[in-house]
Amino acid sequence: MQHQLVSVIDFGGQYTQLIVRRVREQGCYSEMVPWQQAEAHILDRKPTAVILSGGPRSTLEPDAPTINFDLIKDLPVLGICYGQQLMAKNLGGEVHKSTEREYGKRHLGPRTPGTLVDTLKNDLVWMSHGDKVTHVPPGFIVTTSTESCPVAAMENLSTKKFGVQFHPEVTHTPDGRDLLKAFLFNHAGLKGDWTPQNFIDDTLKSIRETVGNEKVLCAVSGGVDSSVVAALLSESVGSQTTCVFVDHGLLRKGEAEQVHETFTKTFHPNLIVINALEQFFSELKGITEPEQKRKVIGENFVICFERNKAVLESHDFLAQGTLYPDVIESGSSTASKIKTHHNVGGLPDWMKLKVIEPLRWLFKDEVREVGRALGLSSEVVDREPFPGPGLGVRILGEVTPERVKITQEADWIFREELRKSGLNKGIWQSYAALLDVRSVGVMGDERTYEQPIVLRAVTSEDAMTAQAFPFAFEFLEHVANRIVNEVDGVNRVLYDLTSKPPATIEWE
């Protein structure tokens, strides 16, 4: 099925992926494309509408990122922040450096009735810019402003070109979703034809066409991502799939057994379990740098397959549960590289298997919806996200069997208390991390010099931004007391209050 497409042109903005997400929330299919690839993308994909993202650069720079506006002259276009400035500059308006930078919450002035920005019932918006449009292009009107921004929004209804200086995609703009919805349906003519079931139908067809009569290895962990991939493969190519679970010793307590039970009961596929504890711990010995750990873990997954020649040689594809946030954070767009995800950039060049990633452009909540549509149980679909490198990136410093056991036990206590209290239902991700330092304590009238545990629990919609969960002090105190008393090697417990950004959800 050919869906209507909303192309989001990425100029390096930190919120670009959120624009894509907000569009998809309205049931409209959207893809993000770096500005350097925009021309080929537009000519090939023929989008129904285009959104121009924000970005860190200035349109006043001689080599500022831009696109050929002739390609989108007949399309509905929404420019956001840098996108509005670029539209104004290319269509005959003027942009100047602001004497006063706007960053954070701002209040809009009166909004012209019947315009796109009039969709906002709340005048509160989120700004983040240094330049500003001072004169709109011919045919455009100014539809609202702020005290320091004369053109907070502009539009040319006859050509279906709209611009806003603020960011409607972020939650800090309370009615931003309504503005995007009005652009998509009232002005761009979108039908909202993209649903989880449509995604499933398209993906099953794509997998069949890609794989043909060849065979697929599906790396599984028991998490929602790999489980959904396995379910898609089971539906599309069935017996051509072999699920492989590599037990690297870096899972949470009891999860290796849970994975085996889940896959044998739910999918009934060919399931191969590779016990690789000794291999992974040996290869990780002495390694403390996070990126190196990720690379080693990624490479050793493939080495496991190489060492099982019978399995490797009888398959042609490796299926992975890579998600869109993994791609973004690994620097596959114009965004900065934050960290390498082992299933994005950590695989070695010499790997012979061809990789397929059916979920590569989905956000986590979209994957859950697809899982539900496929009939997976809530136990699988609602499982907390867990990093591919496992506890390897939750143990700061060297990863050893002893340090893994400490982390597993502390993590188990934390999550057990969350379940008992019912708090786990409101949390996106929770875990215990082990720091690579020691602190002085006293237990039983004796001095201790042991390791601290950091507890982390966040709320999030899509893992691109996150907030620390506001636990009551009494809950944290209770968990800390249990960990210190029940886990050997720990004498101090901390709680991480940092949001994302500036931190990431994982410590490494």
Does the annotation count 329 as an active-site position? no
- Between CA 105 and CA 396 the distance in angstroms is 37
81 tagged catalytic: yes
Residue 119: other Cβ atoms inside 10 A: 19
Phi, psi of 62 (to 5 degrees): -65, -30
What's the rounded Cα separation, in Å, for the pair 377 and 452? 36
Q: Are 298 and 342 in contact (CB under 8 A)?
A: yes
Cβ atoms 259, 477 nearer than 8 A: no
Strands 161-164 and 153-156 come out as antiparallel
Beta pairing class for 124-135 and 94-107 = antiparallel
Of 36, 115, 88, 1, the C-alpha closest to 334 is 36
- Which SS3 state, helix, strand or coil, does residue 130 take? strand
274: tokens are 């590779």
218 as an active site residue: the answer is no
**Nearest Cα to Cα of residue 11 among 60, 51, 62:** 51
- Tell me which of 169, 366, 409, 450 is the catalytic residue: 169
Q: Active-site residue among 28, 41, 81, 255?
A: 81
Instruction: Mark 4-22 as b/e (b = at least 16 C-beta within 10 Å).
Output: bbbbbbbbbbbbbbbbbbb
**Pair of tokens at residue 77:** 């276009």
Tokens of 165: 């200086």
Question: What sign results for the dihedral spanned by CA atoms 26, 380, 276, 414?
Answer: positive
Nearest alpha carbon to residue 56 among 35, 42, 30: 35
Phi/psi of residue 113, each to 5°?
-60, 140
DSSP-H helix ranges across 344-397: 364-373, 378-381
Catalytic residue among 167, 187, 341, 342: 167
Q: Across the strands, what pairs with 186? A: none
Which helix (H) or strand (E) covers residue 272, if one does?
strand 270-275
- Write out the catalytic residue numbers: 81, 167, 169
